[in-house]
Amino acid sequence: MKRTFCLVLAVLLAAMSLAACSEKPSDSPTDAMTPGSENETAEIPETEETEIPDNLPDVTYDGYTYRVASYSEKIGIEEETGEVLNDALFRRDKAVEERFDIILEGVVHDDYTAATNAVKQAVTAGTNDFDCAFLHMVSAAGAASAGYFYSLDELDAVDPTKPWWDTDCVDAFTVAGHMKLICGMPLPNAMLRSSCLAFNKNRFDDYSIEYPYGTVDAGEWTLDALYELTKDMTTDLDGDGKIVEANDFFGLTSWYLDSPYSFYYGAGGTIVTKDADGVPVVNTDLESATAIYEKIYRVIYENQSNYHTDINNYREAYNTFLQGRALFCEASLLHFKDDDFREMEDDYGVLPMPKFDAAQSQYMSFVNGAACMVAVPASVENPERTGILLEGIASESWRNVREALFEITAKSKSSRDADSTRMMDLVMENRVFDLGYSHMYDQVYVHFVRDLLASGSTEVASTLQRNQKVIDKALERIINAYEKNG
């Protein structure tokens, strides 16, 4: 049945290709509703917990200007524009300003290194240029260990147990008793950098395959389940005897700088973990790392996925899916904000990343290094005020921004169904942060899945063992730096 369908699909895609040559997707508006579901609306998850109190004191600050250095995250929104996220952030900012009698001012940098350097320069000069900062994770990691940031655990008003903060981030980034970086609801784009899978509902319907929502609900959405669904799907549509990205159909399409981490962390893998005393240690479980990698390798290589490796043209991996030529696409929730996904002709659904096996307790979503983190400059003038206002921004984000995140992703043209909305909630529920990935991004050990897949190798144990001493010493230096600069 699969082969028969692919012959039909080849004709359809040829027609689509001709249409694509004559006009861009953005030049060809599509109906705002999902085909066949004109009366459907996305169900936003119940938000009965939005009234959780933040327990902050009833204080005001006489019009104080609270300045935030930022990369990619907005704060201090001046007006509503009708765009869902912008207006949610506007309401949040106004609520915080009115509650505490302050002015929120965002100092936005287009370049992530510039944002981090601006904070470092202020700390070096000992000036109170910024009260806090929203900084690129990997860029901020080095500054954190070098002592440029105030320890957030010393801000009494900041409660990392509240739902507006990522608990996994708190655990992963607490080193030597100091937490210098945190992520959560104040950073909507960072929340949307949660890895997931999109699947083409039209192709599932054509193959008479049941959508995997029930598999997810049963806790059985695993790498093996993904392997079975993508098995024998990749097809030479144009009959030239070659599998070519631009012309053929794939069971899975993904980009090599994202998907290796998404699959590995989704399956429970990690580079750095904590020992019984809470001290960061390199994960040396070679048996587990090898087992996870082997399953990823099967999906990527044995099933002939479109594993796109062009660093300068990553969009092609997603275009394969957008053009209806892939059953699955590894992505993040942030992709669903794009006009390309909203204008996709086929209908798509959203799933969490697959587990290693059904025994894994939770679905896990990797958060990549382009996500922002909250940091407070070490030169902060009034830590008490900074902590209160930071927690106020976080709690108001929970109340005002959370539903907007679901609306801008779940209410897109093609994922307008209650199941996908529920899946998106699941994706953001368990987000993975790794001290190894963020603080040791320059280490070969950290990228072993990416690098082995790029070369088609399966030599996991020897690769990790060969780089063990180097990463051990790198982690030791980081721990010592936190102890010294805490």
User: Six-digit token pair at 432?
Assistant: 């993975």
| Position 71 pLDDT exceeds 50 | yes
The span from the CA of 426 to the CA of 421, in Å, is: 9
Q: Of 92-101, 136-145, 301-310, 383-392, give the lowest mean pLDDT range.
A: 301-310
| Mean pLDDT value across residues 424-452 | 95
Whole-number average pLDDT of the chain: 88
| Mean pLDDT value across residues 87-113 | 96
Residue 403 banded pLDDT, cuts 50, 70, 90: confident
Q: Could you tell me the CA-to-CA distances from 354 to 169, 181, 451 in Å, in that order?
A: 21, 28, 21
- Write down the pLDDT at residue 316: 86
The span from the CA of 131 to the CA of 393, in Å, is: 13
Contacts of 196 (CB under 8 A, 6+ apart): 330, 331, 332, 333, 350, 351, 352, 353, 365, 423, 424, 427
| Mean pLDDT value across residues 439-467 | 96
Q: What is the CA radius of gyration of the chain?
A: 23
User: Six-digit token pair at 303?
Assistant: 């099933």
Query: Hey, what CATH topology would domain 48-191+371-410 get?
Result: D-Maltodextrin-Binding Protein; domain 2 (3.40.190)
Residue 50 banded pLDDT, cuts 50, 70, 90: low
Q: Of 15-19, 32-36, 41-45, give the lowest mean pLDDT range.
A: 32-36
Q: Which residue has the tokens 């001709």?
A: 18
The span from the CA of 151 to the CA of 160, in Å, is: 13
Of 434, 375, 368, nearest to 144 (Cα)? 375
- Strand, coil or helix: 158: coil
| Position 36 pLDDT exceeds 70 | no
| Mean pLDDT value across residues 195-204 | 96
Of 241, 246, 254, 410, nearest to 323 (Cα)? 246
Query: How many CB atoms within 10 Å of residue 128?
Result: 14
- Write down the pLDDT at residue 406: 75
Query: How many CB atoms within 10 Å of residue 98?
Result: 10
| Position 233 pLDDT exceeds 80 | yes
- Write down the pLDDT at residue 101: 98
| Mean pLDDT value across residues 444-466 | 96
| Phi, psi angle pair for 366, to nearest 5° | -70, 140
Sign of CA dihedral 125, 130, 131, 133: negative
| Position 47 pLDDT exceeds 90 | no
195-366+439-469 has the same fold as 48-191+371-410 = yes
Contacts of 215 (CB under 8 A, 6+ apart): 221, 225
The strand ranges marked E within 345-443 are: 348-351, 365-366, 372-375, 431-432
Residue 3 banded pLDDT, cuts 50, 70, 90: very low
- Write down the pLDDT at residue 410: 61
The span from the CA of 342 to the CA of 451, in Å, is: 32
The span from the CA of 289 to the CA of 293, in Å, is: 6
Q: Which CATH superfamily is domain 195-366+439-469 in?
A: Periplasmic binding protein-like II (3.40.190.10)
Of 374, 401, 366, 209, nearest to 296 (Cα)? 366
Which residue ranges make up each domain of the chain?
Answer: 48-191+371-410, 195-366+439-469
- Write down the pLDDT at residue 49: 54
Query: How many CB atoms within 10 Å of residue 376?
Result: 25
The span from the CA of 227 to the CA of 224, in Å, is: 5
User: Six-digit token pair at 350?
Assistant: 């959203």
